[in-house]
A and B are shown apart, each in its own frame.
Chain A
Amino acid sequence: MESFTPLTAALGGSLIGLAAAVLWLGNGRIAGISGIFGQLLPPAQTVVWRLIFLAALVAGAWATSRLFPELGVGGVQPAALVPPPAAWGVPPPVWLIVAGLLIGFGTKIGNGCTSGHGVCGLARLSLRSLVAVAVFFGVAIITVTVTGIV
């Protein structure tokens, strides 16, 4: 259990909640990353704030990693992607492409991801989001079990 980090998790979660609160009470927008990101693609209408939000998201992660490396995973290169399970014999780029396509397509047709349905939707007491969250958490847990990726 040495990897259990409840304090930084709760601090980070509170910051994510605060980010969603600022965007909702300031601009009346849902801080759902797949939506903010996906609606940059044609036929996009409101591009500027979405680009600024996403650029600031990258800047926020970068600045925090430099200023407070001990709070997160640490260092300049804090996270690596996880290789596919060896037993499956799938080349890593193929695995990554399939995962990326499924995430992009699924969040688009399901109208949300972990932030839009998970944080904002549940906070709005949306039954639709509750169903989405139960399905994507359930399926992700099954996927990790079946693939044995960890």
Chain B
Amino acid sequence: MANLRPPYLATAALSGLLFGAGLYVSQMVDPLKVLRFLDFTAIPSGGWDPSLAFVIVPAILVMFIAVRIGRRRSAPLFDREFHEPEYKRIDTRLVGGAALFGVGWGMSGICPGPAIALIAFPPDGIWLFLAALIAGSYAGSLIVPSGHSKRLADAK
């Protein structure tokens, strides 16, 4: 199994470490900071915090370069293929799912990355929140199978 070789697992570990460091340094782990970015009603008074735009733009730029490099290669370093997302269609599931996520994100200021990073310095309530996140994700997988489980079903 390619995905149990040490270089493959070390790459996953390095990526996770960098990701967690980035979430802390950018202050994405602070739900109030995230909500202050999402609070456009504060723009007229000058109280809006635009910091998070300065997080996502460089993140996209760095990944954009990596995607360009990847296009010139037939495979990543430690696997046989690039795992491109299977879904291409823009449908009700995509829009509905994004909208429901938007409501939850606006209610809490926590998206899935910071939710997990917060385990490092767990605030009151985070375990309850994570349990709900797991339950919601599981409910979603029952109603609409992901590409992954569809592939599994096909393979049977």
Label chain A's interface by main secondary structure: helix
In whole angstroms, what is the CA distance A127 to B87 when docked? 11
Q: Are A142 and B36 in contact (CB under 8 A)?
A: no
Which residues of B are found within 8 Å of A64, using beta-carbon distances? 20-21, 24-25
Known contacts A38-B146, A104-B132, A124-B67: does B20 contact A57 (CB below 8 Å)? yes
Closest CB of chain A to B44's CB: distance in Å? 13
B90, B121, B132: the one contacting A101 at CB < 8 Å is: B132
**Residue-wise interface mask of B (30-57) relative to A, using a CB-CB cutoff of 8 A (1 in contact, 0 not):** 1111011011111000110111111111
Contact B22 A113 (CB under 8 A): no
**Contact count A vs B, C-beta below 8 Å:** 514
Interface size bracket, A side: 35 or more
Chain B positions within 8 Å of A, measured between CB atoms, are 3-4, 7-9, 11-33, 35-36, 38-42, 46-47, 49-67, 69-70, 73, 75-79, 81-83, 85, 87-90, 93-113, 115-121, 123-126, 128-141, 143-144, 146-149, 152
Binding site for B on A (CB under 8 A): 1, 3-6, 8-31, 33-35, 37-39, 41, 43, 45-46, 48-50, 52-65, 68, 71-73, 76-82, 84, 92-93, 95-111, 113-115, 117-124, 126-128, 131-133, 135-145, 147, 149-150
